[in-house]
Chain A
Amino acid sequence: AQSVAQPEDQVNVAEGNPLTVKCTYSVSGNPYLFWYVQYPNRGLQFLLKYITGDNLVKGSYGFEAEFNKSQTSFHLKKPSALVSDSALYFCAVRDITGNTPLVFGKGTRLSVIA
């Protein structure tokens, strides 16, 4: 069975500092990995995905994520946080083998403090 773990419920960072939101996954085969963001009173929006190729994936709003197969991780990063980045972030995974649905983590709330 596939699963996703986001070990931090909350991440606080000062504006201008780098941020990291952690995600680890478990799949039986190779993964498709995604990050989504949810702003207050909104649905989830796609940020970036890893399918294959370069382990460093760049996405929307200056975010990037690094796929690390040996550590089964897909941490979300941004070099310089903005107050407007404050939101709920979800990591998601599915196994590329078979026709399995996307599995989401429980979410990490990011607060960027001015």
Chain B
Amino acid sequence: EAQVTQNPRYLITVTGKKLTVTCSQNMNHEYMSWYRQDPGLGLRQIYYSMNVEVTDKGDVPEGYKVSRKEKRNFPLILESPSPNQTSLYFCASSLRGAGGPSGNIQYFGAGTRLSVL
């Protein structure tokens, strides 16, 4: 089954304790992206990756890091989490960036709800 898998689904942590949210897709997609969803703000892009070893900042990259060492994985790293990073996080992938001629569809993971105390 084609899917985007995020782990963990729920996470409660404390300020300053480094954490990683994993994201894996089994569709051989080049493009992967991280979003955060906050009430009244919709989805905001954190980072995206057009392919292996290629990453770029989205709209709200501060406080986050990503890496793309393999095509299928795109982990989100919070080196020193703060309470303002409490949010619902989504990973997404598509065959190529939404910039492709077919405007490809993004597939989303089920989300990770993070609380930073």
Contacts and interface: CB of A to CB of B under 8 A. Distances in A.
B97 A101 contact: yes
Interface residues of B, number: 27
A101 B98 contact: yes
Interface string B54-94: 00001000000000000000000000000000000010100
A42 B112 CA distance: 10
Interface of A: 9, 32, 34, 36, 41-46, 49, 51, 90, 94, 96, 98-102, 104-107
Contacts of A45: 108
Interface of B: 4, 33, 35, 40-45, 48, 50, 58, 90, 92, 97-99, 101-103, 105-111
A104 B99 contact: no
B4 A98 contact: no
Contacts of A32: 98, 103
Given A43-B4, A99-B97, A94 B40 contact: no
B110 A42 contact: yes
Mostly, the A contact residues are: loop
B110 A101 contact: no
25 contacts: A32-B103, A36-B108, A41-B110, A43-B92, A43-B110, A44-B43, A44-B90, A44-B92, A44-B106, A46-B107, A49-B103, A90-B42, A94-B99, A94-B103, A96-B103, A98-B99, A99-B50, A99-B97, A101-B99, A102-B45, A104-B42, A105-B42, A106-B41, A106-B42, A107-B42
B109 A90 contact: no
Contacts of B111: 41-43
Nearest to B43: A104
